[in-house]
Amino acid sequence: MNIMIGLINGMIAAATPILLAALGGTLTYYAGIFNIAMEGMMLSGAFFAVLGSYFFHSWIVGILFGVLGAILIALIFIFFSIFLKVDEFVTGVGLNLFAVGLTTYLLRQIFNVKGAFTDPGIVPIPKIQIPLIQNIPVLGKILSGQNLIVYIALIAVIFITWLVFKTRFGLRLRAAGYNSTCLDTSGVSSNLIRFHSLMLCGILCGFAGSFLSLGYVTLFTENMSAGRGWISLAAVILVSGNPLGIALVSLLFGFADGLGLFLQQSLPSQFTSMVPYVATLIALFIYSIRKKKKEALI
């Protein structure tokens, strides 16, 4: 039983950063931006979260710095893609590499280390024990005692669903992606909507990054986002942006990750680390088969 609980908790922990980044990605997806900078935003967020937590001895400042770090990348993205109208793809790839360079450079400059920075002075984000629920025999260990960011991610799913489908902003957001000229002629600047969507994406990726470096583990390593931004992009494409679908897909990826850890007893760790990426390929494969069938019906 304890193994099962451990597996489920591992799955939730692995799913959280992907879920948060993918929620950010879904906002830009609806706004019609080909945003591939989630990887860079997450990485920058992870670094600055450690920076804030280490120097101010507070995880709250850590999260704040993490969010600001991700917003920094989002702002550069906005400057280049919306303001200067540079190709979004080029901007995204450039920014991802910029984030890798920036974080390794600052790691070297500020902490004087190469590769990884870990220190007892980094304050991790606490786990939240919910009274009453934590006393339920099995479920209590899953529903309660998770990292704060996990609960934020859950709230974010509901919030983003509401925002996209039930508010005026959401309508405009979808209009910006569906037909931006129409939105512009009706007197709403589609660029402004895109600006907002990218800022929100930055905030969500900031949370994802903070979770990576202050929740999942308490350290920063070079390039620690390790393709999670790309996986979250795949998740967005798989479910065509539906937030609830994204939550499900993220859990699936989390499960693949947890499964990888579980398999480590019988397989070399290099193969188990591959599992999430192989799972992404399989998910894309199933998606394309289903799409083919649908098209055949029409």
Binding region for another protein (CB under 8 A) out of 12-20, 42-50, 226-234, 242-250: 226-234
Binding region for another protein (CB under 8 A) out of 24-32, 46-54, 170-178, 274-282: 274-282
Does an H or E element contain 81, and which? Answer: none
Residue type, 14: A
Residues 99-138 that bind another protein (CB under 8 A): 100-102, 104-105, 107-109
284 near another protein (CB under 8 A) = yes
Within the chain, how many helices (H) and strands (E) appear? 12, 4
User: Under 8 Å CB-to-CB from 37, ≥6 apart: which residues?
Assistant: 73, 74, 77, 91, 92, 95, 96, 229
292 near another protein (CB under 8 A) = yes
Considering only CA atoms, which of 71, 91, 78 is closest in space to residue 207?
71
116: which strand partners?
A: 221
Binding region for another protein (CB under 8 A) out of 124-132, 139-147, 163-171, 288-296: 288-296
The pattern of x and - marking residues 243 through 272 that bind another protein according to CB under 8 A reads -------------------------x-xx-
CA distance 245 to 231: 14
Nearer to another protein, 64 or 175 (CB): 175
The pattern of x and - marking residues 70 through 89 that bind another protein according to CB under 8 A reads ------x---x---xxxx-x
235: left (phi > 0), else alpha (psi -120 to 50), else beta?
alpha
CA distance 18 to 207: 11
User: Could you give the count of Cα atoms lying within 13 Å of 78 in the half-sphere of its Cβ?
Assistant: 21
93 near another protein (CB under 8 A) = yes
| Nearest distance in Å: CB 139, another protein | 34
Kindly tell me which residue out of 6, 124, 145, 227 binds another protein, with binding defined by CB under 8 A: 227
| Nearest distance in Å: CB 38, another protein | 13
| Nearest distance in Å: CB 251, another protein | 19
Q: For residues 238-276, b (16+ Cβ closer than 10 Å) or e, as one string? A: bbebbbebbbebbbbbbbbbbbbbbeeeeeeeeebeebb
Kindly tell me which residue out of 224, 273, 297, 298 binds another protein, with binding defined by CB under 8 A: 273
293 near another protein (CB under 8 A) = no
Binding region for another protein (CB under 8 A) out of 4-12, 144-152, 239-247, 286-294: 286-294
165 near another protein (CB under 8 A) = no
Nearer to another protein, 168 or 292 (CB): 292
Within 10 angstroms of residue 89's Cβ, the number of other Cβ atoms is: 12
At residue 87, φ and ψ (nearest 5 deg) are: -50, 130
Binding region for another protein (CB under 8 A): 76, 80, 84-87, 89-91, 93-95, 97-98, 100-102, 104-105, 107-109, 226-227, 230, 233-234, 237, 268, 270-271, 273-274, 277-278, 280-281, 284-285, 288-289, 291-292
